[in-house]
Structure formats: structure tokens, C-alpha cells
């Protein structure tokens, strides 16, 4: 992964000007210009970091997950041992090892109750029941997640796009687009039931 440059935009511009000026300026004058540029840059309260992607990328490694910018506000950091302690073997296999449950066997595949589907690993709300639809694929299908709750990452082979919980990095499934389903987004979030925990809506 490309590392962000730590030089500020203002500093880069000033250094460029200094380098240009040194071709015609006297050594003492060039030194003073460089010192002035450095001092001016150091007084700026913020420094922009340039990356190949302006948004902070989601990063999950060794069981440590952090939310990306614009995603869930929470951060969940657990070691592999801690995840094993709180998850069932099947949940660990799917959420932390990117496994897949057998089609048609999931607890929520046919669930039509109103409520919210949360991450089974950290409890973060992921999907509203109003976005769930019957795709006939054998896994719960949603046409969109809650804002900032889902991260998408293209698989290494480039064939599929993985979806994960933005708060803990737990594997949910994959998202497919352009399949022609009559939904507002023409997208299908194909999610493992094991990755979810359903909370029924309160009815008064």
C-alpha cells in the first residue's frame, strides 16, 4: 500500500519557488528564502497528507479493525484470542476467517420481521429490514446498508466485492450489482446469517 506523503501542499509550493529562485539568487539570499519558507510552513496549524485515495482506507490486520473515515464512529480492536472467546466457532470461521455458510440454512434467510440487522461480532447496526428482499439466492439479501456501516473491498482475483462491518472488519458476504433486481439500487448484498444479529422492532 502506498504510504502518504508527509509534506504539506504549502510547503511543496514554497520549496518549488525556492528551488527556482536559487538559480538566480545569491547563496545568502537563497538560504534566507529557504528559512523563511520553512518557518512559514511550520506555523500552519494543519498539514495535508497526500494519498492515492483521499478517503482514509479501512485497515484490518491481526484482528485489529478500525473504522474508515465517513464510516461507523466506533472502533473495535480485539486480538484473535479475544474474538475466539466471544464468538462461536461458526461465527469465528465466517466473521474473522471469511467463511461462507451453506445456502438455504441461515437463520435469517426467510426472516420477514421488522427490525434491524446488527453485526454479530460487535453489535453495530448494519441493515434495516425494509431493505431486505427475497433474491432466491439462499442467503439474506439487502439492497443497501445503513450509511457508513459497510465497507467494500474487491477480492484479490477481482471477480467479487467483499462487504465487511466498518466498525470491526467482520466478514459479511459480497455485494453484486447490475443483476436486474427491481430494487432502488440494483444491488444485492449477499450476507451470511451467521454474521448478523437481528433486533426486532418495538411495537407499541
Question: Which residues lie across from 199 on neighbouring strands?
Answer: 116
Cβ–Cβ contacts within 10 Å for residue 171, how many? Answer: 23
Q: For residue 117, give the nearest of 173, 202, 196 by alpha carbon.
A: 196
**Buried/exposed code over 110-135 (b: 16+ C-beta within 10 A; e: otherwise):** ebeeebbbbbbbbebbbbbbebbeeb
Catalytic residues: 190
Cβ–Cβ contacts within 10 Å for residue 4, how many? Answer: 13
Amino acid at each position: 500500500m502506498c504510504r502518504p506523503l508527509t509534506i504539506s501542499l504549502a510547503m511543496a509550493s514554497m520549496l518549488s519557488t525556492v528551488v527556482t529562485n536559487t538559480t538566480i539568487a545569491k547563496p545568502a539570499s537563497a538560504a534566507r528564502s529557504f528559512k523563511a519558507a520553512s518557518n512559514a510552513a511550520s506555523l500552519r496549524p494543519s498539514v495535508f497528507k497526500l494519498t492515492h485515495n483521499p478517503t482514509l482506507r479501512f485497515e484490518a490486520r491481526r484482528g485489529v479493525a478500525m473504522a474508515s473515515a465517513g464510516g461507523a464512529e466506533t472502533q473495535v480492536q480485539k486480538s484473535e484470542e479475544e474474538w475466539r472467546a466471544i464468538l462461536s466457532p461458526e461465527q469465528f470461521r465466517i466473521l474473522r476467517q471469511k467463511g461462507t455458510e451453506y445456502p438455504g440454512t441461515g437463520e435469517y434467510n426467510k426472516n420477514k420481521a421488522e427490525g434491524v440487522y446488527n453485526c454479530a461480532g460487535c453489535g453495530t447496526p448494519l441493515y434495516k429490514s425494509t431493505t431486505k428482499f427475497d433474491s432466491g439466492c439462499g442467503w439474506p439479501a439487502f439492497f443497501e446498508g445503513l450509511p457508513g456501516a459497510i465497507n467494500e473491498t474487491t477480492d484479490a482475483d477481482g471477480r467479487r466485492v467483499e462487504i465487511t462491518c466498518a466498525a470491526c472488519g467482520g466478514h459479511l458476504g459480497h455485494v453484486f450489482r447490475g443483476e436486474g433486481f427491481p430494487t432502488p439500487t440494483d444491488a444485492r448484498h449477499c450476507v451470511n446469517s451467521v454474521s448478523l444479529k437481528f433486533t426486532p422492532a418495538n411495537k407499541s
